[in-house]
């Protein structure tokens, strides 16, 4: 069955239930119940009108839960079981749900979980599996998030920057499981790009599509990281690259550059080089200058030093990291890379070993240990 | 979010404040201790931060490969001086600050005389998946 249809319908149906008078938290629970019903029933008995089916089932689920709650309160309120038919129009509240689920009062992890469930239409079990926590923990994380935003109105404009941040996190820090979170982040950003013409939304979509295009070349079959310079560029998805570049050009033409457009521009310049040697590092360094101006992020400055090292030589790159804090993540790895290119193999080997000790992922650590071993062996041969 | 391991030691950690070994506690004190740990796990589930916890038996063996076609070599039981792990809890939290806070609560589990043990816990971050966007 087509689960992506069900996922697209999820925020629309939540919106319909809210318009019929359900509060967001109850509507969201009811649609999740309807979603689980659909996953069970649809494969054998696909509905002619999937949206109508989900509205009906979720509304029934909502009424059941409200009746149960009312019974507990000794029926203090009567239930109006039938909604007025004209209230189910063609209004799509999906955009409002993006804003609500990424509300600035939520922690990033809560916003990610809630967005994946209410906007993404994933089940609690799928989200829990993707983030490697028990389902009960994830269910509670989502419930708490819903309590945090209980008083937020759905019809007010929200903060697009936090929405983009949440989608970026899903794409960039997603684990893997039954659901491909990177693909899901792209789907959600693509859907958002149809609802908002903000150039940063399109910039973020371009960034994701461009990175996704290189995915199959980023790791070997046994999970080893392959650095950009050594990737087999024939394995890059050229159609996706073309799409990413077109999206980026459309965004940049609006002349309101932002951090996602700048990051996408860097990704596009890498994607544009047929060999690592043809990379336009001068332009990449310029985009890093732009990104530093936009974000003033020390990690961006560190990446800028790599670009400067390629554009103007390793000495220039080393000069650019002097002012940075050596405690920054990946500082030692960048320093090692620059020292190696400067011909200081002993220093580079030592720095790679240091970088391996400080790596935050297993794949990165193994990669850095291999670099240290490679230079150590070269160094011993020289002596 | 980041996952952390909170490691409890039978031996090898610095001395705790309320250092009486469990066999000198009353049965009620043992029950209260276990209850505290279960309550904390429930509490961390409700806050969306609990991942796992396990306890380990103190007795164990060293095992190593001894060449192709030969059975592994074993050595044990462990000598008294060995650093000995008693169990662990895994949490998934926003940052290290929160991980330290949770470890502090776990360390306050009651021991002899119902007083907090102030046990030293080893806090270790998990290695994660590499981010997608690196350049």
Helix, strand, or coil (residue B50): strand
pLDDT value at A80 more than 60: no
Q: Is residue A83 domain-resident?
A: no
Residue B46: give its domain's CATH number. 3.30.70.1060
Question: CB within 8 A of A175, min separation 6: which ones?
Answer: A130, A131, A132, A181, B129
The pLDDT of residue A167: 97
* Mean pLDDT value of segment B101-116: 94
From the list B50, B94, B135, which residue is nearest A107 (CB)?
B94
Q: How far apart are CA A60 and CA B62, in angstroms?
A: 59
The 10s digit of each residue's pLDDT in A293-332 is 999 899 999 999 999 999 999 999 999 999 999 999 899 9
B50 CA: distance to closest CA in chain A (Å): 6
A84 domain-assigned? no
Residue B61 covered by a domain: yes
Largest Cα separation within chain B, whole Å, is 59
| CB-CB under 8 Å, A303 with B48 | no
pLDDT the model gives residue A169: 95
Q: Which of A3-17, A81-95, B31-45, B79-93 has the lowest mean pLDDT?
A: A81-95
Same domain, A249 and A336: no
The answer as to whether A284 is a domain residue is: yes
Domain that holds residue A61: 4-77
Predicted pLDDT of residue A92: 86
CB distance from A141 to chain B under 8 Å? yes
Q: Sheet with B84-93: list strands edge to edge.
A: B50-55, B84-93, B2-11, B122-125
> Tens of pLDDT along B17-60?
888 888 899 999 999 999 999 999 999 999 999 999 999 998 88
Query: Residues B4, B99: contact at Cβ < 8 Å?
Result: yes
Joined together, the tokens standing for residue A287 give 């985009």
Owning domain of residue B31: 2-125
Do residue A320 and residue A339 come from a single domain? no
Q: Which run of H or of E encompasses A43?
A: none
Is position B134 within any domain?
A: no
Given CB atoms, is B122 within the 8 Å cutoff of chain A?
Answer: no
C-beta pairs of A315-318 under 8 Å, 24+ apart in sequence: A315/A342, A317/A341, A318/A342
Q: Say whether pLDDT at A115 is over 80.
A: yes
CA distances from A211 to A12, A186, A277 (A): 29, 11, 19
pLDDT of amino acid A3: 87
The yes-or-no verdict on residue A2 having pLDDT over 80 is no
Do A163 and A116 have their domain in common? Answer: yes
Inter-chain touch A134–B92, beta carbons under 8 Å: no
Looking at the complex, report in whole angstroms how far the Cα of residue A141 sits from the nearest Cα belonging to chain B.
4
> Based on the domain organization, do A116 and A155 belong to the same domain?
yes
| Region for residue A145 given its phi and psi (left: phi exceeds 0; alpha: psi -120 to 50; beta: otherwise) | alpha
Given this model, what pLDDT does residue B100 score?
Answer: 98
Residues A112 and A181 grouped into a single domain: yes
Residue A86 is predicted with a pLDDT of 45
Query: Is A210 part of any domain?
Result: yes
According to the model, what pLDDT value does residue A119 have? 97
Domain-located, residue B133: no
Together in a domain, A191 and A211? no
Q: How far, in Å, CA of A290 to CA of A263, rounded?
A: 10
Task: Identify all chain B residues contacting A131, using CB atoms and an 8 Å cutoff.
Answer: 1, 92
The answer to whether residue B132 sits within a structural domain is no
> CA of B126, closest CA in chain A: separation in Å?
8
Tokens representing A86 are 């004209």
A85 in any annotated domain: no
**Chain A partners of B129 at a C-beta cutoff of 8 Å?**
173-176, 361, 363
Q: Which of A89-98, A141-150, A199-208, A270-279 has the lowest mean pLDDT?
A: A89-98
ipTM given for this complex: 0.88
Do A99 and A191 lie in one domain? The reply is yes
Question: Hey, are the CB atoms on A131 and B50 less than 8 Å from each other?
Answer: no
Does residue A87 sit within a domain? no
Number of compact structural domains in chain A? 5
**pLDDT of A213-246, one tens digit each?**
999 999 888 888 899 999 999 999 999 999 999 9
Which three-class secondary structure state does DSSP give residue A363? helix
* A274-303 residues touching B, CB cutoff 8 A: 303
Contacts of B52 in chain A (CB under 8 A): 134
Query: pLDDT category, A77, cuts 50, 70, 90?
Result: low
Instruction: Work out how many domains chain B is built from and give that number.
Output: 1
Contacts of B51 in chain A (CB under 8 A): 132-134, 137
The predicted-structure confidence for A330-352, as pLDDT tens digits, reads as follows 999 999 999 999 999 999 999 99
Which residues 4-43 in chain B show a CB within 8 A of chain A?
A: none
Start-to-end CA span in chain A (Å): 64
Residue A76, pLDDT > 70, answer no
pLDDT of residue A38: 96
The verdict on A136 touching B (C-beta cutoff 8 Å) is yes
Q: Which residues contact B89 (CB under 8 A, 6 or more apart)?
A: B5, B6, B8, B41, B50, B52, B53, B106
DSSP state of B86: E
Task: Specify if A50 maps to a domain.
Answer: yes
Nearest-10 crossing angle of helices A181-195, A3-19: 50
pLDDT of A7 > 50? The answer is: yes
Closest Cβ–Cβ partner in A144, A211, A228 for B132 = A211
pLDDT tens readout for residues A34-58? 999 999 999 999 999 999 999 999 9
Which residues of chain A does B44 touch, with a Cβ-Cβ cutoff of 8 Å? 137
Whether residue B130 is contained in a domain is answered as no
Question: Does residue B39 belong to any structural domain of this protein?
Answer: yes
Same domain, A248 and A296: no
Q: What's the pLDDT score for residue A43?
A: 94
Average pLDDT, chain A: 92
Let me know if residue A146 belongs to a domain. yes
Q: Which of A152, A168, A196 is the last residue of a domain?
A: A196
The per-residue pLDDT for A155 is 80
Classify residue B111 as exposed, middle or buried by CB count within 10 Å of its CB (0-12, 13-18, 19+).
buried
């Amino acid at each position: 069955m087509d689960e992506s249809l069900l996922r697209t319908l999820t925020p629309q149906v939540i919106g319909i239930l809210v318009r019929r008078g359900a509060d967001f938290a109850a509507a969201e629970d009811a649609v999740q119940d309807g979603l689980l019903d659909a996953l069970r029933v649809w494969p054998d008995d696909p509905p002619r009108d999937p949206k109508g089916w989900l509205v009906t089932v979720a509304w029934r689920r909502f009424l059941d839960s409200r009746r149960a709650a009312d019974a507990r309160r000794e029926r203090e309120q009567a239930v109006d079981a039938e909604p007025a038919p004209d209230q189910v129009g063609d209004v799509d509240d999906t955009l409002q749900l993006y804003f609500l689920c990424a509300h600035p009062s939520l922690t990033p992890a809560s916003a990610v979980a809630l967005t994946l469930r209410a906007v993404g239409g994933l089940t609690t079990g799928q989200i829990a599996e993707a983030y490697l926590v028990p389902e009960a923990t994830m269910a509670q994380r989502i419930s708490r998030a819903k309590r945090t935003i209980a008083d937020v109105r759905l019809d007010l404009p929200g903060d697009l920057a936090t929405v983009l941040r949440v989608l970026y996190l899903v794409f960039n820090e997603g684990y893997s499981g039954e659901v491909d979170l990177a693909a899901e982040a792209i789907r959600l950003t693509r859907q958002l790009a149809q609802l908002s013409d903000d150039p940063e939304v399109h910039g973020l979509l371009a960034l994701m599509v461009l990175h996704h295009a290189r995915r199959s070349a980023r790791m070997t079959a046994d999970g080893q990281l392959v650095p950009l310079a050594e990737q087999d560029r024939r394995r890059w998805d050229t159609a996706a690259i073309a799409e990413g570049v077109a999206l980026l050009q459309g965004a940049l033409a609006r002349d309101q550059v932002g951090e996602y457009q700048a990051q996408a521009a860097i990704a596009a310049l890498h994607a544009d080089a047929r060999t690592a040697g043809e990379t336009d590092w001068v332009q990449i360094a310029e985009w890093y200058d732009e990104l530093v101006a936009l974000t003033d992020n020390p990690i961006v400055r560190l990446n800028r030093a790599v670009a400067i090292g390629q554009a103007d030589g390793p000495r220039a790159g080393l000069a650019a990291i002097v002012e940075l804090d050596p405690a920054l993540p990946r500082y030692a790895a960048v320093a090692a890379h620059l020292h190696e290119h400067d011909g200081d193999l002993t220093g580079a080997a030592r720095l790679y070993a240091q970088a391996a000790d400080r790596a935050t992922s297993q794949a990165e650590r193994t990669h850095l240990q291999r670099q240290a071993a490679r230079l150590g062996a070269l160094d011993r041969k020289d002596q | 979010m980041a996952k952390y391991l909170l490691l409890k030691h039978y031996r090898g950690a610095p001395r705790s404040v309320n250092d009486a070994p469990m066999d000198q506690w009353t049965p009620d004190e043992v029950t209260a201790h276990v209850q505290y740990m279960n309550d904390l796990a429930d509490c961390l589930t409700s806050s969306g931060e609990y991942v796992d916890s396990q306890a380990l038996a103190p007795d164990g063996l060293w095992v190593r490969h001894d060449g192709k076609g030969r059975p592994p070599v074993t050595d044990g039981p462990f000598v008294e001086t060995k650093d000995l792990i008693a169990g662990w809890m895994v949490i998934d939290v926003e940052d290290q600050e929160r991980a330290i806070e949770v470890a502090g609560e776990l360390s306050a589990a009651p021991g002899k005389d119902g007083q907090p043990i102030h046990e030293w816990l080893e806090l270790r971050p998990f290695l994660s998946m590499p981010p997608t966007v690196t350049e």
